[in-house]
Structure 1
Amino acid sequence: MTDARIWHAEFGHGTPIVLIHGYTIDHRLLLPLDPAFADRPGWRRIYLDLPGHGNSPRLPGRTSATAVADAVVERIRELVGQERFAVVGQSFGGQLARAVTAAFGEQVLGSALIVPVVRWGTDRTLPEETVAERDEEFLAGLSTSEQQVFGAVMARHTKTGWGLYRRHVAPGWDAHDRTAAAELEADFLLPEWPEHGVPAHGGRHLLVTARQDALVGWRDQLALLDHYPRMTAAVLDGTGHNPQVESADAVRELVGRWLDELAPPRG
């Protein structure tokens, strides 16, 4: 037992679907996906706050990718029991969603991976151009630190983009545990890809990447297609590391189609 005490928010009833956010933010970053369920009753949406993020305390021991993955798998077992469920993961949460699929096997209906972490550090293949739109006059009014964080996770450096950032990204950034985050950054990848050593997963899977993603890129993620024979892949233009925020309509449409392809729950 990890005694992780992972906090979660729940909406709806029916088949569980677990949504896992990324590094140094919290579950609020994935709430723009929730309208995809408006005309799809029968899903019990479980939004996690990872250890050291949002409302969840840090792990009792040193924070690492493996420790967080173990805590998430344990928490999901508590929340869903023997029920079949689906999983959504964004960025670092995408790496965790892959680990969840490997751990639970056919109990997982399928996964939606949004800009998932696949490689890190100098092993990443990043795009040369990561800015889709830039308003220099507006940016001049931001502090250097604000520009750095905003610019790293968004591709449209405009007043509108800043509004989306302040609403969906900044609250989680402000709330995360800096010490735990530093520990995790030093041990950010699982020892091996979760897909290695387990059978190919036959469920329906979705991969969403972004051409202007300055943090994880999009090329490395395409290698995941070899491990998921029923995976649909989309590379979105004009958006960065948070496409569910910057290109919300497009991502919700993709997620909605993916939900429709899963074994349909009954509302």
Structure 2
Amino acid sequence: MTDTTDSVIRHTAFGEGTPIVLIHGYTVDHRVLLPLEPVFAGRPGWRRLYLDLPGHGASPRLPGPTSATALAEAVFRWIDAEVGDRPFAVVGQSFGGQLARAVTARYGEQVLGSALLVPVVRWGEDRTLPGETVVERDQELLDRLPDGPDRELFGYVMARLTEPGWELFEQFVLPGRRAHDQPAAAELEADFLLPHWPEHRAPQHRGRHLLVTTRQDGLVGWRDQLALLDHYPRMAATVLDGAGHNPQVECAKTVRGLVGGWLDGLDR
């Protein structure tokens, strides 16, 4: 079900109960997080709210310039309207992980906890990136794929460049990639980080938190994210091997296990 409100943010909702807000990354849409849905099959009582950020998926771009700050403010307005004062949890992937951190800082104890999947922490030359980002390569497949942005992105965000990897990429990553607003994305790329780490202006959050990174993430890396542990006293951290920038797609079963354990530990 997709909302029909006047908000610039559209969302897809499943289930009933405590809200959990799921925020995708840059130039994709909510479909990149749908591999998490089986986590909830045996866990009733969660209303999953999968956002399409402005300029992504079904959501129109912002009326003004697009920046990390502007998108964070749009998410805050959406939460105020859709969630209100109810306790909720938040999941953020990549750029959405940066926004999820801002949500936790903004709403404080109203947030039960967060799950951060390969979150953006640093950007540009400040990033610490791994030297090796591919663990399996099917060269015959790559030779068959036409040159272009789809093939390039596949090699950039996935660690297993194989037929099964391409099928997952086509199902969960490409649809959002092809739907995003390119001028808005260019604006965001030029203003990609919030002015300050959200944690630096907020007290330590004592809810349950989960950090999932991967050894082969060529986009945000994994070392920089470990600094978040200092700001979340009850954060569990896992560095996975054998996946790139979309671990919830590439190693869905493992990530679902981690997210399920996190959900079970939240105090509702």
- TM class, shorter-length: over 0.9
Equivalent in the alignment of 1:183 = 187
State the match for 1:59 in structure 2: 62
Tell me the equivalent position of 1:111: 114
Give TM-score, length-normalised by structure 1: 0.97
**Amino acid paired to 2:15:** G
Is 1:131–2:145 an aligned residue pair?
no
1:42-98: per-residue Cα shift (whole Å, max 9, x none)?
001000000000000000000000000000011011111110000000000000000
Q: What residue is the counterpart of 2:230 in the other structure?
A: 226
State how far apart, in whole Å, the 2-side matches of 1:35 and 1:69 are.
28
Structure 1 gap segments, 5+ residues each: none
What residue number does 1:100 align with? 103
Give the SS at the match of 1:254. Answer: helix
Deviations along 1:87-120, one digit per CA (max 9) or x if unpaired, are 0000000000000000000000000000000000
Amino acid at match of 1:165: F
Q: Equivalent residue for 1:83?
A: 86
- Per the TM alignment, residue 153 of structure 1 is displaced from its structure 2 partner at its CA by 1.1
1:157 maps to amino acid: L
Aligned partners of 1:78, 1:155: CA distance in 2, in Å? 39
1:47 corresponds to: 50
* Deviates further, 138-147 or 212-221: 138-147
> What is the aligned partner in structure 1 of residue 3 from structure 2?
none
Equivalent pair of 1:4/1:60 in contact (CA under 8 Å) = no
Using the TM superposition, give the Cα deviation of residue 32 of structure 1 relative to its aligned residue in structure 2, in angstroms. 0.3
Q: In the TM superposition, what is the alpha-carbon distance from 1:144 to its structure 2 partner?
A: 2.2
The separation in 2 between residues aligned to 1:197 and 1:218, in whole angstroms, is: 23
1:237-252 paired onto structure 2 within 5 Å: 237-252=241-256
Quick check: 1:173 aligned with 2:181? no
| Displacement of 1:143 | 1.9
- Do structure 1's residue 14 and structure 2's residue 17 form an aligned pair? yes
For residues 79 and 210 of structure 1, the distance between their equivalents in structure 2, rounded to whole angstroms, comes to 33
Number of positions where the alignment pairs a residue of Structure 1 with one of Structure 2: 262
Cα distance in 1 between the residues matched to 2:97 and 2:39 = 19
Where do 5+ consecutive residues of structure 2 fail to align? 1-5
CA distance in 2, matches of 1:197, 1:213: 28
1:4 CA displacement? 4.9
From 185, 203, 211, the counterpart of 2:215? 211
1:95-153 Cα offsets, whole Å, 9 max, x none, are 00000000000000000000000000000000000001001111001122232111111
Q: 2:74 aligns with which of 71, 75, 79?
A: 71
1:29-44 to structure 2, matched below 5 A, reads 29-44=32-47
CA shift for structure 1 position 197: 1.8
Q: Which runs of 4+ in 1 moved over 6 A?
A: none
Per-residue CA shift, 1:147-204, capped at 9, x if unaligned? 2111111110111100000000000000000000000000000001000121000100
AA at the equivalent of 1:181 = A
Distance 2:152 2:90 in 1: 31
Q: Tell me what 1:27 maps to.
A: 30
For the 8 Å contact 1:7–1:55, the answer to whether it is kept is yes
Structure 2 distance, partners of 1:240, 1:144, is: 21
Tell me how large the CA RMSD over aligned residues is. Answer: 0.8
User: Following TM superposition, by how much is the alpha carbon of 1:263 offset from its aligned partner in structure 2, in angstroms?
Assistant: 1.3
In 2, the alpha carbon distance for the partners of 1:100 and 1:28 equals: 21
Work out the CA distance in 1 between the residues paired with 2:145 and 2:201: 48
